[in-house]
Amino acid sequence: MLLEVSHLIKRYKDLLAVDRVAFAIDRGTCFGLLGPNGAGKTTTIEMIEGIIAPTAGEIRYKDAPRGAAFREEIGIQFQQTGLLAFLTVFETLQTLQGLYRRRRDLTALLEQCGLGDIRDQMNDKISGGQRQRLLLALALINDPELLFLDEPSTGLDPQARRNLWDIIRDIKAQGKTIILTTHYMEEAQALCDHVAIMDHGRIIARGTPLDLIRQHCEGITIVLPEDGFDGPVEDVAAQFHRVNGNVEIQTTDTHGCLRRLMAGGVDITGLTVRSPNLEDVFLNLTGRKLRA
């Protein structure tokens, strides 16, 4: 194991932010830490990174307590990082590179993160996607063994997000270990080998995305526009949710459900059928109510 976390606790006066969290991460894997707002994800990650001290618990890196080597061998992409407007992309990388003994070749790093064409661009003139790729390059500047990515694709359009995923896959293919936090369940399912879902300071589920889907979801989801129902949805479906003008029906009997819909006079013109995914797992475990 590259990293082991045991009985990790963080208490702020009367608030128990992290409650006996434990997990281990293999070398060369991508580990996703997921959860709703306030679940304790960021606090857990910041304790592992060494930014804040735990109230109790143990964090071991390469089978030993973290030391100076740990700080040299990790890279962190924070949710928010300020960039100096008067520096170019290349100058920014060059400046941070000087802080480490272990250093990546900047030309290769620019190419890997898709920054070669904007190396001489000022930091305040780059797009959101370019900024995220620059922040990722900064996290890789010391050729880390362990990389922390805290919601790396937040605010990106779908094209920029997929481009970032490709870069992350390339990083993992080089043997790097990644800890990823994200609110995009599709992102976690696409990138993570293992996932832990947190809620109220505790890990409530853990496993591969496929294992979690098998354990916590049954059947399929039939999605129909809500205006296609002449009568109450309850007349034709036992388990359903109303979501953004649609009715999502959960069923383990696809044929029987479709037969009931048609017998009930439901317009099935806009019907779609969806297999369960990691988002369904997340919602089943943490609830569908929006949290502040």
Residue 282 belongs to some domain of the structure: no
pLDDT one digit per residue (tens) for the chain, 292 residues: 899 999 999 999 889 999 999 999 999 999 999 999 889 999 999 999 999 999 999 999 999 999 988 999 999 998 777 888 899 999 999 999 988 888 899 999 999 999 999 999 999 999 988 999 999 999 999 999 999 999 888 888 899 899 999 999 999 999 999 999 998 999 999 999 999 999 999 999 999 999 999 999 888 888 988 888 877 787 777 778 888 888 888 888 888 888 888 888 888 888 899 888 999 899 889 886 555 5
Question: Which pLDDT value is given to residue 169?
Answer: 95
Residue 289 belongs to some domain of the structure: no
Say if residues 42 and 150 touch (Cβ distance below 8 Å). yes
What is the spatial distance between Cα 129 and Cα 106, in angstroms, rounded to a whole number?
Answer: 19
- Asked if 84 and 155 sit in the same domain, the reply is yes
- Last residue of some domain: 181, 196, 214? 214
Read off the pTM: 0.85
24, β-bridge pairs: 4
167-189 b/e (C-beta count within 10 Å ≥ 16 → b): bbeebbeeebbbbbbbebbebbb
- Asked if 38 and 92 sit in the same domain, the reply is yes
- Asked if 50 and 144 sit in the same domain, the reply is yes
Residue 48 belongs to some domain of the structure: yes
Residue 169: in which H helix or E strand, if any?
helix 158-173
What is the spatial distance between Cα 249 and Cα 264, in angstroms, rounded to a whole number?
Answer: 15
Full domain range(s) for residue 229: 218-275
- Asked if 173 and 81 sit in the same domain, the reply is yes
Residue 168 belongs to some domain of the structure: yes
Residue 132 belongs to some domain of the structure: yes
Residue 79 belongs to some domain of the structure: yes
- Asked if 30 and 170 sit in the same domain, the reply is yes
- Asked if 191 and 107 sit in the same domain, the reply is yes
- Asked if 192 and 227 sit in the same domain, the reply is no
- Asked if 199 and 252 sit in the same domain, the reply is no
Return the CATH number at 255.
3.30.70
What is the spatial distance between Cα 79 and Cα 43, in angstroms, rounded to a whole number?
Answer: 13
Return the CATH number at 56.
3.40.50.300
Residue 285 belongs to some domain of the structure: no
- Asked if 184 and 226 sit in the same domain, the reply is no
- Asked if 200 and 224 sit in the same domain, the reply is no
Q: Which residue has the tokens 């937040």?
A: 154
Radius of gyration of the chain (CA): 22
Residue 235 belongs to some domain of the structure: yes
Question: Which pLDDT value is given to residue 288?
Answer: 61
- Asked if 45 and 100 sit in the same domain, the reply is yes
Total count of domains within the chain: 2
- Asked if 173 and 248 sit in the same domain, the reply is no
Specify the 3-state DSSP secondary structure of 242: strand
